[in-house]
């Protein structure tokens, strides 16, 4: 997953982390420090590459979404918002949106709660802490294809480890990936397995950097254990928690890899998230313009949710 | 105190079973005969064998697919570093925000959004039929992953370089490029290693672009392993061996460079 980009300290952060994008006061421009003189051209290759690789595809996809490209590669030109109208009329779009939001909410919630628990355990300074941390890191950086394959074996209806373990304690076998009612939960389970440790790692680093004074002060007032964690620790941890949740949010809304590997959106479209729907529209159903429309809608959704998050965060910071 | 310690280790045990268990299960199953796996999934006494791996190389030419993964991940990493290091330096020295914002868009846009235009381009220039063009396309596509990653990883390292070191070279009349590649770059060497390893692994792991763009001969490990499922393969031993090969760089990274990895993942999320 190129999933793990986080915010370097002094640069304007991801997802509008601050008002930093605005133009600096003009006065400052005069006093560019001498070591910064003449460096600007070095950024040119990266700027060009980014423009070509990011802005051009987004622009082209927007164009596709308002025109009518056929499977054979011909494009009969500008179409207005017809593709968008088709999308909003399609029951599959709304059901995909629902699945996308379902996975987003369930996974984010459970990953945060479990991440807090695991993060706390990881932050404790005991012998063997580094080895433990290393083992916990592995799910998050293992390729999704490998993760998907392993979980396919675990969730195999007859041979799978999951059903054999359930059987040993007398629970009937579950059809994990073949039952439309169960499959979304099974997919959520895999994502929670893969990404809880990532949450936990960020949270544990956050816990370790917490100041001690507030805890000492509260302990003097007689607070202890859970109340200390809930009333003092959690509020102090909130900025770190928000960044971790934001990073997961962006990935969860565009959920693709493990779903495509494990179910390709099935059974009966029960795991057909917007991103999987969009991929299938383009590469299986050969409707490039409609697929482009879905991708633009998805990008808008990611930006909207991330924006909402940032808004809450800034309001909370005030 | 000992009671607290045993509580921590009890938690260690539970979390290890849950989060590390499946990985261990994969590695172990990759060393078992498929008949043993299907016969008795948890039989610890069954013999271990390397047959699954030799099979992959003999029957499915995995050597070639491993080489493909190396070419794509290596190429996009080197390119990402070559473009990303100077850019990160400029971002730090000039406090540039705009470039960061565009890389952020790359971080938020769904991968399919990039694949569609790249696919159209690929068809137009004959990408599907040409091995060289196909490699080039895959490397460029993976640059979408590696370039922002390299920039974001390198920025904190350039920030750590004290400005006084560079100011002292101004007296010697060093120009901007000399300051960058003779002074700043060597000092950011640890950062370059972090960016190199992490972006190699992320590019190696990335699935979607190769799924849509690669042809039979340029297919990396991720896609050939995925195709196994499509063929309805019930050779679980083989599938687990393929998974183990795909996971190898990530596992090695965790064993040998855990500190970098933690730094890469937590980055600036935690100060």
The model's pLDDT over A173-196, given as tens digits with 9 standing for 90+, comes to 889 998 999 999 999 999 999 999
Q: SS3 of B145, please?
A: helix
Q: What angle do CA B119, B124, B129 make, to 5 degrees?
A: 80
> Out of A20-24, A73-77, B256-260, which region has the weakest mean confidence (pLDDT)?
A20-24
The predicted structure's pLDDT at residue B136: 94
Give the range of the structural domain holding residue A216, as residue numbers without chain letter: 92-317
Do the chains contact at A135 and B16, CB–CB below 8 Å? yes
Residue B126 has pLDDT above 80, yes or no: yes
Reported as a pLDDT band with limits 50, 70 and 90, residue A3 is very low
**Would residue A27 count as lying in a domain?**
no
**Domain limits of chain B?**
65-266
Please, which pLDDT band fits residue B270 given cuts at 50, 70 and 90?
low
pLDDT, position A76: 81
Q: What is the pLDDT of residue A7?
A: 37
CATH number of the domain residue A181 falls in: 1.10.3720.10
CA distance B181 to A200: 37
Q: Are the CB atoms for A201 and A119 separated by under 8 Å?
A: yes
For tokens 């991330």, name the residue.
A306
Distance between the two ends of chain B, CA-based, in angstroms?
30
CB pairs under 8 A between A and B: 352
Q: How confident is the model at residue A68 (pLDDT cuts 50, 70, 90)?
A: confident
DSSP alpha helices (H): ranges in chain A? Answer: 26-30, 44-50, 56-65, 82-89, 91-123, 129-141, 144-154, 161-168, 183-208, 213-220, 225-228, 234-253, 257-262, 274-283, 288-317
pLDDT at B42: 82
Chain B residues touching residue A10 (CB < 8 angstroms): 92, 95, 155, 159
Give the Cα separation of A275 and A282 in Å (integer): 11
- pLDDT-derived band of residue B34, with 50, 70 and 90 as boundaries? confident
Q: Is there a contact between B255 and A201 if contact means CB atoms under 8 Å apart?
A: no
How many CA atoms lie less than 13 Å away from B92 in the CB half-sphere? 26
Mutant choice from B14, B19, B20, B163 vs A, greatest count of A C-beta within 10 A: B19
| Count, residues in chain A | 318
A68, part of any domain: no
Q: What is the mean pLDDT of chain B?
A: 86
Distances (CA, A) of B61 to A150, B55, B56, B67, B225: 22, 9, 7, 10, 12
pLDDT at position A247: 84
Asked whether A265 and A271 are in contact (CB, 8 A), the reply is: yes
What is the average per-residue pLDDT within A133-148? 92
The pTM assigned to this predicted structure is 0.87
Q: What is the number of structural domains in chain A?
A: 1
In a domain, A144, yes or no: yes
Q: Count CB atoms within 10 A of the CB of residue A50.
A: 24
pLDDT average, residue stretch A79-105: 93
Residue B72 pLDDT more than 70?
yes
Residue A53: predicted pLDDT:
87
Integer Cα distance of A281 and A294 in angstroms: 9
* Range A259-287 average pLDDT: 91
Higher-pLDDT residue of A33 and B138 is B138
Which one of B24, B153, B214, B265 makes the best mutation probe of the A interface by having the most chain A beta carbons within 10 Å? B265
- ipTM for the whole complex: 0.89
Task: Answer whether B246 sits within 8 Å of A145, measured CB to CB.
Answer: yes
Instruction: Give CA separation, A273 vs A115, A266, A270, A277, B227, in Å.
Output: 24, 10, 8, 6, 21
Tell which CATH classification among 3.40.50.150, 3.40.190.10, 1.10.3720.10, 3.90.550.10 matches the domain B65-266. Answer: 1.10.3720.10
- Could you tell me the pLDDT band of residue B99, with boundaries at 50, 70 and 90? low
- Compare all CA atoms of chain A with the CA of B199 and give the residue at the minimum distance: A2
How many CA atoms within 13 Å lie on the side-chain side of B199? Answer: 32
Chain-chain contact of A9 with B140 (C-beta, under 8 angstroms): no
The CA distance from A5 to A193, in Å, is: 20
pLDDT of residue B20 exceeding 60, the answer is: yes
- B143: nearest CA partner in chain A: A53
pLDDT over threshold 90, residue A250: no
By the 8 A CB rule, do B109 and A56 touch?
A: no
């Amino acid at each position: 997953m190129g999933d793990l980009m986080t915010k370097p300290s002094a640069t304007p952060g991801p997802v509008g982390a601050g008002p930093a994008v605005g133009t600096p006061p003009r006065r400052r421009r005069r006093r560019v420090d001498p070591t910064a003189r003449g460096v600007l051209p070095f950024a040119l290759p990266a700027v060009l590459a980014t423009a070509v690789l990011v802005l051009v595809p987004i622009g082209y996809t927007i164009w596709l979404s308002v025109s009518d490209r056929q499977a054979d590669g011909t494009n009969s030109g500008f179409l207005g918002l017809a593709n968008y109208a088709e999308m909003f009329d399609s029951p599959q779009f709304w059901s995909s949106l629902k699945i996308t939001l379902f996975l987003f909410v369930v996974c984010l919630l459970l990953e945060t709660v479990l991440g807090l628990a695991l993060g706390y355990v990881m932050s404790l300074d005991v012998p063997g802490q580094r080895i433990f941390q290393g083992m916990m890191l592995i799910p998050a950086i293992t390729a999704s294809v490998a993760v998907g394959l392993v979980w396919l074996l675990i969730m195999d209806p007859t041979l799978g480890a999951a059903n054999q373990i359930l059987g040993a304690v007398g629970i009937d076998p579950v059809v994990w990936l073949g039952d439309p009612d169960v499959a979304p939960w099974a997919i959520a389970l895999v994502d929670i397995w893969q990404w809880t440790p990532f949450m936990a790692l960020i949270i544990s680093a956050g816990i370790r950097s917490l100041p001690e004074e507030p805890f000492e002060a509260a302990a003097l007032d007689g607070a202890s254990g859970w109340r200390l964690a809930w009333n003092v620790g959690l509020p102090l941890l909130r900025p770190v928690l928000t960044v971790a949740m934001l990073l997961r949010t962006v990935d969860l809304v565009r959920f693709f890899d493990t779903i495509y590997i494990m179910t390709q959106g099935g059974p009966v479209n029960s795991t057909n998230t917007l991103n999987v729907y969009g991929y299938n529209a383009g590469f299986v159903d050969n409707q490039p313009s409609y697929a482009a429309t879905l991708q633009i809608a998805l990008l808008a959704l990611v930006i909207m949710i991330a924006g909402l998050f940032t808004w809450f965060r800034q309001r909370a910071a005030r | 105190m000992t009671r607290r310690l045993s509580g921590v280790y009890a938690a260690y045990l539970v979390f290890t079973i849950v989060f590390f268990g499946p990985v261990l299960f994969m590695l172990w199953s990759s060393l078992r005969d498929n008949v043993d796996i299907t016969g008795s999934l948890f039989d610890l006494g069954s013999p271990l064998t390397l047959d699954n791996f030799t099979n992959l190389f003999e029957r499915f030419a995995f050597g070639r697919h491993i080489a493909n993964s190396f070419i794509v991940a290596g190429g996009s990493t080197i390119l990402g570093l070559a473009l990303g290091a100077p850019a990160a330096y400029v971002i730090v020295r000039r406090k540039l925000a705009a470039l960061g914002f565009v890389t952020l868009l790359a971080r938020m846009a769904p991968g399919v959004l990039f694949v569609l235009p790249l696919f159209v381009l690929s068809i137009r220039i004959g990408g599907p039929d040409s091995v060289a063009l196909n490699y080039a396309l895959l490397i460029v596509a993976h640059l979408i992953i590696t370039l922002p990653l390299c920039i974001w990883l390198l920025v904190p390292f350039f920030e750590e370089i004290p400005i006084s070191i560079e100011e002292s070279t101004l007296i010697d009349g060093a120009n901007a490029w000399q300051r960058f590649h003779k002074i700043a770059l060597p000092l950011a060497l640890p950062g370059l290693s972090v960016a190199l390893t992490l972006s190699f692994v992320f590019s190696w792991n990335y699935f979607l672009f190769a799924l849509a763009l690669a042809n039979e001969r340029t297919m990396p490990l991720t896609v050939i392993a995925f195709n196994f499922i499509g063929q309805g393969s019930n050779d679980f031993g083989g599938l687990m061996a393929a998974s183990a090969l795909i996971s190898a760089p990530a596992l090695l990274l965790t064993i040998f460079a855990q500190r970098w990895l933690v730094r890469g993942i937590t980055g600036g999320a935690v100060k």
